[in-house]
């Protein structure tokens, strides 16, 4: 891939451990600009998903990158392609009664049985942050051909495991 030197290329990956009751999720970024890696960041939390963590980290990145910039998020997670599409009832993917985790925060105000899009709170924040920049897009890349994407997934997995381990240590 040929990179434009004025564009911020943000490699973003996530990880989630659905097999544990406390379900930890994590996301990580590696940011390139002008041909060099300028920063790395990682977040994780309990009772969430990698998609929620990725959207949260996208918001943080858009807040930190200088206003008026061009940003390209590079990922293999097709879910985040719609980070800038306003939630509608047709875009719903869960109902209030189905929501049992942190994703339900945005949905909990919905009347019983009415559908709402998971992570709509974060998507609305992404839409607002995108307005600060010249352009913001998502490009899907092949995981196995992208060393920096592999790095982000590894960073997210490590952060998620650390969060879960710290949680269990506090319980003892």
Helix axes 50-64, 120-130, angle to 10 degrees: 20
Burial class (CB in 10 A: 0-12, 13-18, 19+), 18: exposed
**Per-residue CA distances from 107 to 2, 16, 127, 142 (Å):** 41, 21, 18, 32
20-24, 42-46, 149-153, range with the lowest pLDDT: 20-24
* DSSP conformation class of 111: P
Q: For tokens 């009832």, name the residue.
A: 89
Nearest in space to 25 (alpha carbons), one of 122, 101, 127, 116:
101
The stretch 115-126 carries a mean pLDDT of 84
The structure's pTM equals 0.82
Contacts of residue 142, defined as CB under 8 A and 6 or more positions apart, other chains included, come to: 76
CB 142 within 8 A of CB 76: yes
Q: Is the model's pLDDT at 86 over the cut of 80?
A: yes
Token pair, residue 88, equals 């509608």
Give the model confidence (pLDDT) of 9-21 as tens digits.
999 999 998 888 8
Q: Are 132 and 67 in contact (CB under 8 A)?
A: yes
pLDDT at 114 over 90: no
Q: Is the pLDDT of residue 107 over 60?
A: no
pLDDT at 22: 82
Whole-number pLDDT of residue 20: 80
d(CA 155, CA 47): 19
68: confidence class by pLDDT, cuts 50, 70, 90: very high
Q: Which residue has the tokens 């650390």?
A: 162
Among 55, 72, 93, smallest CA distance to 138 is for 72
At residue 70, does pLDDT exceed 50?
yes
SS3 label, residue 76: coil
pLDDT of residue 116: 55
């Amino acid at each position: 891939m040929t990179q434009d030197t004025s564009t911020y290329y943000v490699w973003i990956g996530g990880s989630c451990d659905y097999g544990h009751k406390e379900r930890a999720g994590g996301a990580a970024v590696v940011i390139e600009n002008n041909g060099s890696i300028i920063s790395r960041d990682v977040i994780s939390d309990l009772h969430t998903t990698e998609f929620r963590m990725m959207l949260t980290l996208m918001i943080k990145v858009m807040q930190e990158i200088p206003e008026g910039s061009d940003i390209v998020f590079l990922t293999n997670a097709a879910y985040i392609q719609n980070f800038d599409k306003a939630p509608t009832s047709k875009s719903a993917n869960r109902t209030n009664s189905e929501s049992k985790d942190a994703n339900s925060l945005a949905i909990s105000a919905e009347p019983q049985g009415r559908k709402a899009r998971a992570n709509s709170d974060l998507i609305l924040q992404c839409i607002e942050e995108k307005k600060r920049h010249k352009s913001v897009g998502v490009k899907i890349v092949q995981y196995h051909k992208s060393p920096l994407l592999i790095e982000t997934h590894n960073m997210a997995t490590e952060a998620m495991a650390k969060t879960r381990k710290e949680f269990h240590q506090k319980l003892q």
